[in-house]
Amino acid sequence: MKDEELDEEMLEFERKYGKEEDAKKADSGSLRTAVIALGVVAGLLLAVLAGVLINKAKLVRDLNSEKADLTSELMALQSDYDSISTNNAAINDSLAVEKEKVGQLIERLQKTEATNRAKIRQYEKEIGTLRTIMKGYIAQIDSLNTLNASLRHEAADARKDAAESRQKYDKLVTRTDELAAKASVGAVVKGRGVSLVAINSSNKVTDRSSRVVKLKACLSLIENSIAEKGPRIVYIIVTGPDGTLMTGDQSRPFSVGGEQKMCTASREVDYQGDEIEVCIYYTNPDPFVKGVYNVEVFSNETRLGSADVLLK
């Protein structure tokens, strides 16, 4: 009986011990699986974090590169503004304002973090606006240069025409003087030093058509001891750039050498045989325009001379 009891106790111990070992083995397998799973998850998280850091670093590099490109564009734009030059004071003042804007934008861009994408986009728009404004000024300056070249060409043509006209008139005067000398040598009072200038509102000489308020024609009646003394009338005939006679309140007809003419203005002087300077003013009811204005001066006896002035 004792052997049977012993055998039963042995069997019971083996059953109990076997179950505990199986439980320990099962617990050890579950722990190993959990550790492996956590390791896999940790590896995935590290991979994701590394990817995020790499992408962020690339984005920062791209934004810094974009900021550097914008800075280069602004520096080039500033150089372009510095290279623009003109004699027009109003345009120069406006260019100075735009140059200052470019300089301020460069300072703002340098102080802005490259990661501030909203500000960077705003600066891109401002650069585009400044570049468009600059192109507008360049076009305006080119247009002014073209206009100035055209005006210079027209002025040269006008001077050439005026010179030819003076030559024709001088020849006519010479012929007229010769005939007058034969008819009455020494009795005719002649003139010299005929001039024509433009006067502004400050009573100063100017060549700017927009500032002219009147024309001033002057000459000297030369000394002639045998000429008739007393009142004499000096007449001026002013023609505009288009060759038409300019008239006003003082315009009236007169006769010279038997020929009827219409004068622009006139003045009576007391001639006593000595040389005397005579100046006659003409105020145009309409604004003066650009071009060459010509004046011819007459007395009732003869033509005294001519002159012209170029208004710009």
**Per-residue confidence (pLDDT) for residue 278, from 0 to 100:** 95
Buried b (16+ CB within 10 A) or exposed e, 251-275: beebebeeeeeebbbbeeeebeeee
**Per-residue confidence (pLDDT) for residue 157, from 0 to 100:** 73
Going residue by residue through the chain, which has 312 residues, state the pLDDT in tens, using 9 for 90 and above: 455 655 566 666 566 655 555 555 556 667 777 777 777 777 777 766 666 566 555 555 656 677 677 777 777 877 777 777 677 777 777 777 777 777 787 778 777 775 777 777 787 787 778 778 877 777 777 777 777 677 777 767 777 776 777 777 777 667 666 655 545 657 798 999 999 999 999 999 999 999 999 999 999 999 998 888 999 999 999 999 999 999 888 899 999 988 899 999 999 999 999 999 999 999 988 899 999 999 999 998 899 999 999 999
Predicted TM-score (pTM) of the model is 0.42
The three-state secondary structure class of 19 is helix
**Per-residue confidence (pLDDT) for residue 1, from 0 to 100:** 47
Q: Are 234 and 217 within 8 A, CB to CB?
A: no
Q: Are 280 and 265 within 8 A, CB to CB?
A: yes
Q: Spell out the residues 6+ positions from residue 291 whose beta carbon is closer than 8 angstroms to its own.
A: 154, 158, 209, 240, 241, 242, 310, 311
Distance set, CA 30 to CA 24, 25, 114 (Å): 10, 9, 51
Q: How far is CA 47 from the centre of its chain?
A: 60
Q: For residues 270 and 266, what is the distance between their CA atoms, to the nearest angstrom?
A: 14
**Per-residue confidence (pLDDT) for residue 288, from 0 to 100:** 93
Q: Which residues pair with 268 in a beta bridge?
A: 233
Describe the crossing of helices 117-183 and 2-83 by its angle, rounded to 10 degrees.
Answer: 10
- Looking at domain 189-311, what is its CATH homologous superfamily? Immunoglobulins (2.60.40.10)
**Per-residue confidence (pLDDT) for residue 167, from 0 to 100:** 79
SS (HEC) of 106-171: HHHHHHCCCCCHHHHHHHHHHHHHHHHHHHHHHHHHHHHHHHHHHHHHHHHHHHHHHHHHHHHHHH
Residue ranges covered by each domain of the chain: 17-183, 189-311
Long-range residue pairs from 154-160, CB within 8 A, at least 24 positions apart, any chain: 154/291, 155/292, 155/310, 155/312, 158/241, 158/291, 158/292, 158/310, 159/292, 159/310
132 φ/ψ sector (left φ>0, alpha ψ -120 to 50, else beta): alpha
Q: For residues 178 and 266, what is the distance between their CA atoms, to the nearest angstrom?
A: 25
**Per-residue confidence (pLDDT) for residue 232, from 0 to 100:** 92
